[in-house]
Amino acid sequence: METLMSILIGLFFAIGTYLILTKSLLRIILGTSIISHGVHLLILTMGGVKAGGPPLLGFEEITFTDPIPQALILTAIVINFATTALFLVLSYRAYKVIGTDNTEKMRGNEDE
Amino acid sequence: MSLLHLAIISPFLLAVLVPILYKLFKKVHTGWFILPLPLVLFVYFVSFVSATSTSQPIIESFTWIEALGIEFTAKIDGLGLLFALLITGIGTLVILYSIYYLSKDKEKLNTFYVYLLLFMGAMLGVVLSDNLIVLYAFWELTSFSSFLLIGYWYDREKSRYGAQKSMLITVFGGLSMLGGIILLYIMTGTFSISEIIAQSDVIFTHPLFVPALLCILLGAFTKSAQFPFHIWLPDAMEAPTPVSAYLHSATMVKAGIYLVARMSPVFADHALWLWLIAGFGIVTLFWGSFSAVKQTDLKAILAFSTISQLGMIMSLLGIGAAALHFDGIDDKYHTIATTAAVFHLINHATFKGSLFMVVGIVDHETGTRDIRRLGGLMQLMPITFTLAIIGSFSMAGLPPFNGFLSKEMFFTAMTHIIDFNVFQLDTWGILFPVIAWIASVFTFIYSMILVFKTFTGKFQPEKLEKKPHEAPIGMLISPIILASLVIIIGFFPNILSVNIIEPALSAIMPEFLFEVHISFWHGFNLELWMTIGVIVLGTLLYLSLAKWRKIYGLFPEKLALNKAYDHGLLFAQNGSLKMTRMYMNGSIRSYLIYIFAFFIAILSSVLFSQNAFKIDLEHASDVRYYEILLVAVIVIASVAILFAKSRLTSVILLGAVGYTVALFFVNFRAPDLALTQLVIETISVSLFLLCFYHLPKKRNEERMAFKATNLVISIGVGAVVTLIALSAHSTKLFESISQYYVENTYTEAAGKNMVNVILVDFRGFDTLFEIVVLAIASIGIYAMIKLRMKGAK
């Protein structure tokens, strides 16, 4: 399962990178979201999947899945959500002010 | 801190007071307050003369940075004392001269004297330091204060150009010298010059010997304006004339010569030392005298003349090194080169200082320094004319002035080079006297131009801005003193030999015992005939100057070193501009491509060069059929984003991916993650939709344009991540620490949900700041939506 997950994570990274390299701001944000999914799954996979029951003591199992990666991912998800929301609003504002979501047209400033 | 240290830093202390004195006593010329200091210092240094000539050098130490072995060690030996006397003596005369030269009302005297005092202190520090780091610090301070003095009239463009040029070249050399100093420290473990000299046999066999030698020499050559680094000196003539007289003839340009003389006991055993110094010196001698004839500006003539004479001293120091290799018949001829170097060093300081002051007077009284506009000043300025005659004839090497004596010694040293059968000097050595003789002819010519084009010929008052008359007496005192010295040393050459020259020589070449006796008349020998030849040919060439001067026109300006410097500087500026423009094009995509390309290149090269790639499926869990189904769904959804035409479709597809990830979390026994992921994905998708609902739909939505580069980069990134994930999972170096959490979650923290207990109990800090992140993001969003700058949409 880990091998399959590794390939899937690689695919996520590839798709995310491709989206980030495009011109449209929306697609860049989509790309970062996909990459963050990849990262979350990567953390989980590296901790080993399906090694036991869910990390809840009430289940009375002998082995449990590693709880640390899950705690890390939970933190990462929330932070990722915060930044995504911020970037979304930022790009929305940029679109409103500049009138484009094409990053190639956002180049340069008066100082140059 | 001893009195000697106080003497070195006293110019800095006075420099602090100068602006106050300038403000308090507006009516008095500030220079009068400065004048006593170099005079007192001169007298103070004279008191060392008897001590250094008879006994050991005087050493005073003062701890600066003890841990690094850097001590401010002041050391007075013959060489240091000679330079200290030159610096303070000529310093006194220059300050006296500047009092009459610079106007009290028009010039910013406070800055001038601050810079000049900085320079004087720095120069004293250079020649009296025994510690190389301290020497370097003072060395850079001389470059810096020289920069300030050249740019004294900073509103003139040429001043700024000259200052920048001299700064760039001397600081380049200074940095290289620092490299040499550090190499010496690596070899010997000390910064003290005396201790380094004591270990010179260790250094000689060390592999870093040659690099250290080259680095030190580069510093000396740039400072002393040796070919091809001489180009800064003519441009430094934009400085006020007292500065040119002091810095660019008598003191600072001799710092490189001081360094070479000081380091001779360390390096002189090597053939490279001899060849580089003698070779570059003689080329500089020739090139300086050859170029001086071409100049029409008096100060430019003197600048090239200084270059040429510095080359002469340098080549003598180089040839003097041969004495170390030759324990042969007669030591006289082998040490005479070094003697001539030191003797000419003194002579040059006297006559060049007075000549600069003479030129300053001419400039001051006529308003020009251009020899094409000058002429016939003899009757108007008789004293200045006499001074010019003395200085120029001494410079040309005519009797009865001191320049004659040192030039004769120079010829003696040069003609005896072929006797040395070391380093192939017996074959190639013949070039030295020939070049030296030709250079002396040119020296004669420009010395004559200097005097006769200025003071004889037709007087052209219509070309002059002022009505010329003799200079005030105060301005004449300093050149008169220097010119008197020229004559006194000329007639009584041995007054300095026992007390000044001999101790200096034994500092340069500690192995030898010197008994200097300079005879004024030494019979009809080869050297005298060479001088007669110089005079005859020089006179003929001077008289026919108009006929052959055209050969200077043949020399292409494009090949001149100044052009090379200018183009080099321009090339460096434009080149770096072009290079920066090339990669910093302002497009985010390009930067991201650089970042990703480096990511791929470095990670994959490390992965394979370290043999880290490994697949081990032992710990891998099995794959169920529904998991394959999940993978298939998520692959289709994510790939479809790439091909989605409308924004809405791609947002919905992203939602599909997010929900499938939540299903993965379910499958991988992570209930809290699944919950959070579901909720957050829902909110994210609604945010996306909310944002794009408000966007104006003014243009047709289109598919992503395909770019091969993007595809290659993204496939590379994906592949690298996959490979690293596989290798990382296959290489478990140690067990997880999670067993501790499993065992202690209930007993220590009273909870059964391990993930939640980790989040709020074991690792609660993470959670605190994650809350902060959320708070900042929400405030940010609120601010972006609500806040509007005035005038913005």
Chain pair A-B, CB pairs under 8 angstroms: 258
pLDDT tens by residue, B91-145: 999 999 998 888 887 888 889 999 999 999 999 999 999 899 999 999 999 999 9
Higher-confidence residue of B498 and B232: namely B232
Amino acid, single-letter form, for residue B36: P
Which pLDDT score, from 0 to 100, does residue B573 have? 93
The minimal CB distance from A37 to the residues B658, B670, B780 is found for: B658
pLDDT tens by residue, B675-705: 999 999 999 998 888 877 766 665 556 677 7
Q: Which residues of A touch B726 (CB under 8 A)?
A: 2-3, 6
The verdict on a CB contact (< 8 Å) between A88 and B661 is no
- Predicted confidence (pLDDT) at residue A110 exceeds the cutoff of 50: no
Q: Which residues of A touch B667 (CB under 8 A)?
A: 50
Mean pLDDT taken over chain B = 85
pLDDT tens by residue, B602-648: 999 998 888 877 777 777 777 888 888 999 999 999 999 888 888 88
The minimal CB distance from B738 to the residues A67, A78, A107 is found for: A67
Does residue B64 sit in helix, strand or coil? strand
β-bridge partners, A24: A102
User: Across residues B26-48, what is the average pLDDT?
Assistant: 88
Interface test with B, best of A25, A33, A91 (most B CBs within 10 A): A33
pLDDT-derived band at B89 (thresholds 50, 70, 90) equals: very high
Q: Which residues of B touch A84 (CB under 8 A)?
A: 684, 687
The verdict on a CB contact (< 8 Å) between B638 and A34 is yes
pLDDT tens by residue, B161-187: 999 999 999 999 999 999 999 999 998
Interface test with B, best of A7, A9, A17 (most B CBs within 10 A): A17
Which pLDDT score, from 0 to 100, does residue B92 have? 92
Which pLDDT score, from 0 to 100, does residue B700 have? 57
Q: pLDDT > 90: what percent of chain B?
A: 30
The verdict on a CB contact (< 8 Å) between A21 and B713 is yes
The minimal CB distance from B635 to the residues A11, A45, A81 is found for: A11
Interface test with A, best of B714, B746, B774, B789 (most A CBs within 10 A): B714
**Alpha-helix runs per DSSP H in B399-550:** 402-415, 425-428, 431-448, 454-455, 473-491, 502-508, 526-543, 545-548
How far is the alpha carbon of B154 from chain A, nearest alpha carbon, in Å?
A: 28
pLDDT tens by residue, B340-379: 888 899 899 989 999 999 988 888 888 888 888 887 788 8
The minimal CB distance from A71 to the residues B622, B710, B759 is found for: B759
User: Across residues A44-69, what is the average pLDDT?
Assistant: 81
Interface test with A, best of B624, B626, B721, B769 (most A CBs within 10 A): B721
Which pLDDT score, from 0 to 100, does residue B595 have? 94
Q: Which residues of A touch B592 (CB under 8 A)?
A: 20-21
CA atoms within 13 A on the CB side of B76: 26
β-bridge partners, B65: B70
Other CB atoms closer than 10 Å to residue B634's CB: what's the count? 23
Q: Tell me the C-alpha distance between B156 and B363, whole Å.
A: 17
Q: How many residues does chain B have?
A: 793
CB B483 within 8 A of CB B354: yes
pLDDT-derived band at A72 (thresholds 50, 70, 90) equals: very high
Please give the structure tokens belonging to residue A103.
């990053």
Q: Looking at chain B, which residue has its C-alpha nearest residue A68?
A: B738
Q: Which residues of A touch B722 (CB under 8 A)?
A: 6-7, 9-10, 13
How far is the alpha carbon of B623 from chain A, nearest alpha carbon, in Å?
A: 5
pLDDT-derived band at B588 (thresholds 50, 70, 90) equals: confident
**What angle separates helix B708-730 from helix B588-609, to the nearest 10 degrees?**
40
User: Which of these, B193, B281, B750, B781, lies nearest to B508 by C-alpha position?
Assistant: B193
Q: Looking at chain B, which residue has its C-alpha nearest residue A24?
A: B704
The verdict on a CB contact (< 8 Å) between A37 and B661 is yes
- Predicted confidence (pLDDT) at residue B712 exceeds the cutoff of 70: yes
Which pLDDT score, from 0 to 100, does residue B542 have? 84
Q: Looking at chain B, which residue has its C-alpha nearest residue A90?
A: B784
**What angle separates helix B738-749 from helix A67-98, to the nearest 10 degrees?**
90
Rounded to whole angstroms, what are the CA distances from B171 to B41, B139, B185, B387, B603?
28, 9, 21, 36, 41
Interface test with A, best of B669, B714, B769, B787 (most A CBs within 10 A): B669
Rounded to whole angstroms, what are the CA distances from B541 to B304, B544, B741?
19, 5, 100
The minimal CB distance from A81 to the residues B650, B684, B711 is found for: B684
How far is the alpha carbon of A32 from chain B, nearest alpha carbon, in Å?
A: 11
Q: Looking at chain B, which residue has its C-alpha nearest residue A53?
A: B669
- With 0-12 / 13-18 / 19 or more C-beta atoms within 10 angstroms meaning exposed / middle / buried, residue B527 is buried
Which pLDDT score, from 0 to 100, does residue B600 have? 93
Q: Which residues of A touch B665 (CB under 8 A)?
A: 44
The verdict on a CB contact (< 8 Å) between B641 and A107 is no
CA dihedral over A92, A96, A101, A107, signed as positive or negative? negative
Q: Which residues of B touch A68 (CB under 8 A)?
A: 736-738, 741, 758
The verdict on a CB contact (< 8 Å) between B758 and A71 is yes
pLDDT tens by residue, B65-75: 888 888 888 88
Q: Looking at chain A, which residue has its C-alpha nearest residue B625?
A: A1
The verdict on a CB contact (< 8 Å) between B695 and A92 is yes
CA angle B224, B439, B170 (to 5 degrees): 15
Q: pLDDT > 70: what percent of chain B?
A: 92
pLDDT tens by residue, B200-214: 888 888 888 889 999
What DSSP designation does B758 have?
I
- Predicted confidence (pLDDT) at residue B710 exceeds the cutoff of 50: yes
pLDDT tens by residue, B256-265: 999 999 888 8
β-bridge partners, B297: B370
| pTM, rounded to two decimals | 0.83
Which pLDDT score, from 0 to 100, does residue B217 have? 92
Which pLDDT score, from 0 to 100, does residue B329 have? 45
pLDDT-derived band at B199 (thresholds 50, 70, 90) equals: confident
pLDDT tens by residue, B740-779: 888 888 888 888 899 999 999 999 999 999 999 999 999 9
State yes or no: cis peptide before B228, omega within 30 of 0.
yes
Q: Which residues of A touch B627 (CB under 8 A)?
A: 1, 4
**What angle separates helix B402-415 from helix B298-320, to the nearest 10 degrees?**
40
Which pLDDT score, from 0 to 100, does residue B523 have? 67
Q: Looking at chain B, which residue has its C-alpha nearest residue A97?
A: B793
pLDDT tens by residue, B286-342: 988 888 888 888 888 899 999 999 999 999 888 887 777 665 545 566 678 888 888
SS (H, E, C) B379-400: CCCHHHHHHHHHHHHHHHCCCC
Does residue B457 sit in helix, strand or coil? coil
Residue for token pair 């966007």: B695
